[in-house]
Chain A
Amino acid sequence: DIQLTQSPSSLSASVGDRVTITCQASQDIGNSLNWYQQKPGKAPKLLIYDASILETGVSSRFSGSRSGTDFTLTISRLQPGDIATYYCQQYDNLPPYTFGQGTKLEIK
């Protein structure tokens, strides 16, 4: 099975900061990676699909990129409403469609 290593596991940043979360796949998955945001007590929300495509309605402050098996979610100009846990998820070839361990983002 494909493993995803997400880092950091937690992150504290200030309003207005640029935040970066990374996700490393254990093998080549092409662009088959999504990013989700989950606020406390809520269902996850799709932010980015196919590594870098912004889901409709999601703020342009969110962006995704890929370099080989390394993927990055960037949040520019951090806002209080961005407080959440962020997950990457791969869907290369056949299941299981594994998720990363999550990154809990807090405001300083």
Chain B
Amino acid sequence: EVQLVESGGGLIQPGGSLRLSCAASGFSFRSYWMHWVRQAPGKGLEWVSHINSDGSIRRYADSVKGRFTISRDNAKNTLYLQVNSLRAEDTAVYYCAGPYSGTLGYWGQGTLVIVSS
């Protein structure tokens, strides 16, 4: 059974940083693309970033470019999102998802990030 388990969210002050993690199991993590998608409270889905299987390709939404960094550790079957210079508008549930470059058949349960003073 495929499982994606996010962690690392929480309450953080504006300008702060967090590292979100996503532990994967039940599929060949090292072979697939992975993504981060977020959802602000009561709002729709927003694609944030993706990374290819070996980490050589990383792309970002304009809204997070220069502030967020996606990475992966294939030895640990774990996806990461380093989020810096956080703003109130970054408040959202952050989902990790996979396994293709554009199609998201696997989703985690999400981790909530609240940016507030």
Which residues from chain A sit less than 8 Å from chain B, CB to CB?
Answer: 32, 34, 36, 38, 42-46, 49-50, 55, 87, 89, 91-92, 94-102
Contact = CB atoms under 8 A, between A and B. Distances in A.
A97 B50 CA distance: 10
Interface residues of B, number: 21
A99 B103 CA distance: 12
B62 interface: yes
Contacts of A91: 101-103
Contacts of A95: 47, 50, 59-61
Counting from the closest, the 5 A-B pairs by CB-CB distance are A91-B102, A43-B107, A97-B47, A99-B45, A95-B59
A87 B45 contact: yes
Contact of A43 (B46, B102, B109): B109
Contact of B105 (A38, A46, A87): A46
A101 B45 CA distance: 8
A96 B95 contact: no
